[in-house]
Amino acid sequence: MEPWTIEGRTVMITGGNAGIGRATASELVRRGADVTIGVRDRDRGEAAAEAIAREAGRPVDVLEIDLASTASVRAAADRFAAGHPRLDVLILNAGVFYGRHRTTTDGFEATVGINHFGHFLLAGLLFPRLAAAGSARVITVASSAHHRPDAFDVDVLPGWRGRYRGMDAYARSKLANVLFAAELARRAEGTGISSFSLHPGMVSTRIAQDGDTMLVGLLWKLGRFRFLTPAEGAATSVLLATEPEIEDRSGRYFAEGKESRPSRLARDRELAQRLWRRSEEIVGLRFRPGR
């Protein structure tokens, strides 16, 4: 097997038009990758792609995708597959934080629906392109917030039970991210596909500004002077996409550039398996990486 290098690799990044996603895209393009950014708003995506191309000196493709709609995810996956025979790196970066209960187009609780189910479906649909690469990586941007839950009832999904709290929903979605990444690594063992999850650090982005919670948004703004820049927050995603000989650490969780120990629940293999099976049922896809 040839030594891993990002140059010439095909990369897709969800949420690539702003924040950590844009910074990740810009750096990987600068290093010679062929990058597609997945975006919800086509106009914003095109503007970001043009800016990244000016900064990095290489073109960037734009893929319109709404992770709140399984129909949109399926259509986007079809469009990407039609134009790309292989996918070397899939970075599941997009994320939302909502202060009030909202639902997706399919009726899912929106935070887990977008942050987990949309990405689960996308990864499953694009898995044949990952497999075609021979050696590929799936990188899931999670958060240290995944440590917050002390229980996770997957049978409640995709709905919500009890009083809705935005931070609880966000933390649950990030726990789902870490569980997914670990289970994907186990199921994809022997396929040449590696899977990682990460906490980028506390980064100054608009994640709490574009939702509908004034208090969290205000606190986020006030705390920005202590936060990392998007470029600093992108460093761990870039590391996992570019570092040679990291495949033997597949399934691990990284925080701010270093391997870290995830929460007790995130290390629960039975919970990860139950979440995987439940996710297949909810999105209507049999995702069998090892078969």
* Helix ranges restricted to H, the chain: 19-30, 42-56, 70-83, 110-112, 119-132, 166-187, 214-222, 230-233, 235-242, 269-283
Task: Among 138-147, 202-211, 223-232, name the most confident range.
Answer: 138-147
Query: pLDDT (tens digit, 9 = 90+) per residue, 143-196?
Result: 999 999 999 999 999 999 989 999 999 999 999 999 999 999 999 999 999 999
User: Per the residue annotation, which of 98, 164, 170, 253 is the catalytic one?
Assistant: 170
Query: What amino acid is encoded at 132 in this protein?
Result: A
Global pTM value: 0.93
170 is catalytic: yes
Contacts of 82 by beta carbon, 8 Å cutoff, 6+ apart = none
| Gap between the Cα atoms of 219 and 227, Å rounded | 12
pLDDT for the residue 236: 97
Domains assigned to the chain: 10-283 (3.40.50.720)
Question: Is the alpha carbon torsion for 193, 196, 200, 206 positive or negative?
Answer: positive
Q: How does residue 71 score in pLDDT terms, banded at 50, 70 and 90?
A: very high
